Amino acid sequence: MKVGFVNIFGKPNAGKSTLLNAFMGEKLAIVSPKVQTTRHRIKGILSEPGYQVIFSDTPGIIEPKYKLHQKMMHAVKSALEDADLALLMVDIYDDWAESDAIFSALRLRVPALLVLNKIEGLSPARVEEARQFFSGKPYVKEIVTVSALHKTGVEELLQKILSFLPEGEPFFDEENLTDLPTRFFVGELIREQIYQLYQDEIPYHTAVLVQEFKEKSTLIKIQADIIVQRDTQKGIILGEKGKGIKDLGTRARQEIEKFLGQKVFLELFVKVRPKWRDNELYLREYGYN
């Protein structure tokens, strides 16, 4: 049986979370067009007859500006230490030299596949140009092209991954999809809607803390706090006469119900915690360890 840890690295918005979801056939990682959506390391456990692959989606690699960013980059560092194989993702429209500098700085000790993503609609010549740029780089074993969004090339990539993994015993029960608790994903689905509904700095200044998750006979009761840094941000999230928070709650509830397969009663509260992104106690409370 092939078993191993496969960790996905890259710049923000390279498509790491979309690729994880494509492998899993489930929405485990939230996605948005905005950068720095992923803040935690999210494991997806893919178990099939003959193999178990533990994928890790990691935050996009950035230069830390806050304690929150430092925690995010710590998640990247820990993922470097336990990988059997690295997937180095590149948005083919992005600056290849920047990705090359990041991947070189990772100083990988394990084999790496370079994954050129978002190839849909691109000319073969442009794809070949990207291949030529990365071929021969010391960190690259092989180069694979995919469209994670359209799931093009994902099955071929999986077969390539399996060829690099060692044989062994599975680490997790086959019914496990992830090692994270349900309430983590509930908080992430609320945060995803904040990324989709609000502009400018709001998503980046916001955290979500699930305070209550109670399974009743007919539904699940969830209460969550939305944490912001300033009163003005609270006003923006609430919206005129509470319209903003109501819309956010409706959309988040629908996504959570899809995820859980059950009816949900969702209550949201907005709380102001000045400079929470630089406060060690707040960061720990909000799950950024």
Please give the helix or strand (H or E) that residue 208 lies within, else none. Answer: strand 207-215
Angle, helix 182-197 to helix 243-260, in steps of 10 degrees: 140
Give the per-residue pLDDT at 198.
93
Q: pLDDT below 70 — which residues of the chain?
A: none
* Cβ(245)–Cβ(238) below 8 Å: yes
Give the per-residue pLDDT at 289.
78
Please give the helix or strand (H or E) that residue 79 lies within, else none. Answer: helix 67-81
Please give the helix or strand (H or E) that residue 20 lies within, else none. Answer: helix 16-24
Q: What distance in Å separates the CA atoms of residue 93 and residue 135, rounded to the nearest whole number?
A: 17
Each residue of 251-271: pLDDT tens digit?
999 999 999 999 999 999 999
Half-sphere exposure of 64 (CA within 13 A, CB side): 15
Give the per-residue pLDDT at 236.
96
| Residue ranges in 135-269 assigned as alpha helix (H) | 154-164, 182-197, 231-238, 243-260
215 forms bridges with which residues in the sheet?
Answer: 220
Torsion (CA) 289, 228, 248, 118 in degrees, nearest 10? -60
Sequence-ordered list of residues with C-beta below 8 angstroms from that of 50, at least 6 positions apart, any chain? 1, 2
Helix (H, G, I), strand (E, B) or coil at 205: helix
Give the per-residue pLDDT at 200.
79
Give the per-residue pLDDT at 162.
97
